[in-house]
Structure 1
Amino acid sequence: MTTEELIFTAEPDFPVSTLRVAGRLTFTSVADLRQAAGKALTDHPEVLLLDVAGLSVVDDITLTSLPMLARQGVATETDVMVVGPDAVLLEQLERLGIARQVPVHADAGAALAAHARLPGPRRLEAFLAPEPDATSAARGLVDRACAQWHVAHVADAAALIVTELVANAVEHAGTPLLVSVALRSRHLHLGVRDDSPLPLIRAVEDRDGEPGRGLLIVEGMATAWGCVHTAGGKVVWATLRLGREG
């Protein structure tokens, strides 16, 4: 994505997404930064890295948009971190106190190392072969996670959602799958990663003679859901609001 003054390169993935921002940040282009970051947050990654290695700032007051993006990340339970500022930009971030409000790191490696030291979501994962019994294994993973984390009140809905996601991936992607279940503070997050280049619309059409039935079930039951296309395939995800403690 390119605007008059900024170039955005999105690298979506789970659990970490990266948004590279290059060009001149001005009062005009700061709105484009908010829009691009907001779009990246809609996929509910655990971490969003804002890579500003190629960014220059015309008026440093525009940098106050970064704490706002971090607060927006709280709503999606995403940690927003700034990486790669040069010496000039780092001085601006520190002088304005922004570095105290948004984590700032020299590079992605340092950011992820810092993130790993923080209390994070509890997570269970399983690699599954693209076989019919993968749905049963995925349900077992979800049931075990919900029991272990005392969120049994969402177990049935989560099991049905993960069944549909895995069944679609088995039928249409036909690659090994990584199924993940993560407990965040307010949501249960489900993800199914495959290595197929096929877009999602082709991965779910004509299921049992009813085009899109699986996604309709997911859409009807999940708080939010979506698809992140990655370099090696895609991740289809869904979240369930916990509502109350189990």
Structure 2
Amino acid sequence: MESRVELRGDVEQGTVEVILDGPWDARVRIDLASAVRKGLAEHPRALLLNLAAIKEPDPALVGAVLMAERRGGAVRPPVPLVLVAGDALWRRLTAVGLTSRLPIYATVAAAQDALTRRTPRFGRVRLDLQPGAMAPSAARSFVGDTVLAWDLGDLLHAARSIVSELATNAVEHAQTPFTVTASRRRELLHLAVEDGDPALPCVIDRAPEKGTALDFRGIGLRFVAETARAWGSMHTATGKVVWATLATAPQARNTGHTHGW
């Protein structure tokens, strides 16, 4: 059964939107919780919980919103939760006191506009590239220069290597123009490659039997998974984004990996 919960990244805004479409039931509750976990794994500037399609909110939906708020607060650094809701849900959330501490907007555009005005980005640069043979090298140099400019020289090798793998995948598989983005978010360096192909990548398992020739396709993503603090992929409005994070604070490093999908 196809899920009625959609996860959509917005690289330009640095946010992740969780969209709930359809009536509330046990399956939607599970899918919503899973989508919130995946969205928070990317450590966005904010998590937008889009409930605008809910016309007759179930009482259990309030509990789901509370759980999303708690999960966002437990992430380090914390990720704020922003709601998009219609009048019926707004009234229910007001009745239980949630509107006093959670920002609620009528549209995604209004929520994004408020975030742009109120939430600092700390640092963000982007580079648009064509899917040519020299694109991975250009992406690598761009991220390397950025990391040095931000005085994060100890992350230079890891950051350059990760973005090189992500850019190479964009060139070889998506074969569309793509954008490399580097963002400094509190204790994290966030690297992302957005392209026009909606097909999400996957890590290919190594051949299990001794002596079996290895298929080296997917080795690059395995390197990203082993090097990054967290990584993942999600759909965007025009294709997909593949991202990875590195910890900028020494005490936050080597804490294990959280895959975002």
If the length of structure 1 is used for normalisation, what is the TM-score?
Answer: 0.81
**What's 2:6 paired with?**
10
CA distance in 1, matches of 2:58, 2:132: 55
- Pair 12,153 (structure 1): closer, same or farther in 2 beyond 3 Å: same
Secondary structure of 2:234's aligned partner = strand
**What's 2:219 paired with?**
213
Greater relative contact order, per chain length (Cα 8 Å cut-off, separation 6+) = 2
- Pair 33,119 (structure 1): closer, same or farther in 2 beyond 3 Å: same
CA distance in 1, matches of 2:176, 2:22: 39
**What's 2:233 paired with?**
227
Kindly report which structure 2 residues correspond to 1:70-149, keeping only aligned pairs within 5 A, or say none. 70-74=69-73, 75=75, 78-86=79-87, 88-117=88-117, 118-149=119-150
Is the contact made by 2:203 and 2:219 (CA closer than 8 Å) also made in structure 1?
A: no
CA distance in 2, matches of 1:68, 1:107: 22
Q: Which runs of 5+ in 2 are unaligned?
A: 205-214, 252-261
Deviation at 1:189, TM superposition (A): 0.7
Q: Please report the RMSD computed on the Cα atoms of aligned residues, expressed in angstroms.
A: 3.1
**What's 1:167 paired with?**
168
CA distance in 1, matches of 2:134, 2:115: 35
Q: Deviations over 1:141-189 (max 9, x none)?
A: 2122222322222122111111111122222322211000011112111
CA distance in 2, matches of 1:29, 1:9: 7
Kindly report which structure 2 residues correspond to 1:49-60, keeping only aligned pairs within 5 A, or say none. 49-55=48-54, 56-59=56-59
CA distance in 2, matches of 1:48, 1:216: 27
Is the contact made by 1:9 and 1:20 (CA closer than 8 Å) also made in structure 2?
A: yes
1:19 aligns with 2:18: yes
**Structure with a larger share of its residues in strand:** 1
Letter aligned with residue 57 of structure 1: P
Q: How many aligned residue pairs are there? A: 236
Letter aligned with residue 136 of structure 2: T
Q: Percent identity?
A: 34
**What's 1:206 paired with?**
none
Deviates more, 1:73-82 or 1:150-159: 73-82
1:157 aligns with 2:158: yes
CA distance in 2, matches of 1:90, 1:153: 47
If the length of structure 2 is used for normalisation, what is the TM-score?
Answer: 0.77
Deviates more, 1:66-75 or 1:151-160: 66-75
Secondary structure of 1:71's aligned partner = helix
Letter aligned with residue 12 of structure 1: R
Deviation at 1:51, TM superposition (A): 1.8
Is the contact made by 1:26 and 1:57 (CA closer than 8 Å) also made in structure 2?
A: no
Is the contact made by 2:129 and 2:178 (CA closer than 8 Å) also made in structure 1?
A: yes
Q: Deviations over 1:84-128 (max 9, x none)?
A: 321x32122223221132211111111001100121241110001
Deviation at 1:231, TM superposition (A): 4.6
- Pair 197,28 (structure 1): closer, same or farther in 2 beyond 3 Å: closer
Is the contact made by 1:222 and 1:240 (CA closer than 8 Å) also made in structure 2?
A: yes
